[in-house]
């Protein structure tokens, strides 16, 4: 029988807070897979790379707190994406630039056109099927920009 837990590594969100915890290997793998894309998304909303990284750390820390429930959900990636979006929106509302993280279609457009992810990658990050992503991207492209 193998130990399915590994010690928290320096890049794990809890390590920054000085906690000596052990996270499931599935959580660590999930973070390693999604952290770079989450950072790319957060950098769209925060000018300082350190601030974007801090927001992602907060989101992954929140994810760690509910990991068993997320892992048991129909789409762990979708649940984690919502935690990230909520964390970005919450932290961003505290900045004075007046911009706000948008609707789901706008987030998909950001992931595709700004971050540069292909449709299958976006589907993997947000936890929905590729056909839905394609449809939503077409819808976002056709929708006129909102007046500011």
pLDDT tens per residue, range 45-76: 998 889 999 999 999 999 999 999 999 999 99
Architecture per CATH, 102-148? Orthogonal Bundle (1.10)
Which residues does 116 contact at the CB level (< 8 Å), separation at least 6? none
- CB of 53 within 8 A of CB of 11? no
Spans of all domains in the chain: 1-97, 102-148
- Non-local CB neighbours of 94 within 8 Å, separated by 6+ positions: none
pLDDT tens-digit readout, 109-129:
999 999 999 999 999 999 999
User: What per-residue confidence (pLDDT) applies to 22?
Assistant: 81
Lowest-confidence segment of 11-25, 63-77, 89-103 by average pLDDT: 11-25
- Give the model's pLDDT for residue 142: 74
């Amino acid at each position: 029988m193998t130990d399915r837990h590994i010690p928290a590594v320096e890049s794990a969100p809890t390590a920054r807070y000085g906690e000596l915890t052990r996270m499931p290997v599935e959580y660590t793998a999930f973070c390693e897979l999604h952290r770079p894309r989450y950072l790319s998304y957060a950098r769209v909303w925060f000018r300082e790379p350190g601030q974007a990284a801090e927001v992602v750390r907060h989101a992954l820390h929140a994810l760690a707190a509910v990991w068993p429930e997320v892992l048991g959900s129909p789409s762990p990636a979708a649940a984690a994406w919502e935690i990230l979006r909520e964390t970005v929106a919450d932290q961003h509302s505290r900045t004075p630039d007046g911009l706000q993280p948008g609707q789901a279609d706008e987030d998909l457009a950001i992931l595709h056109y700004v971050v540069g992810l292909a449709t299958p990658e976006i589907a993997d990050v947000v936890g929905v099927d590729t056909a839905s992503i394609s449809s939503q991207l077409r819808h976002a492209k056709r929708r006129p920009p909102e007046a500011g």
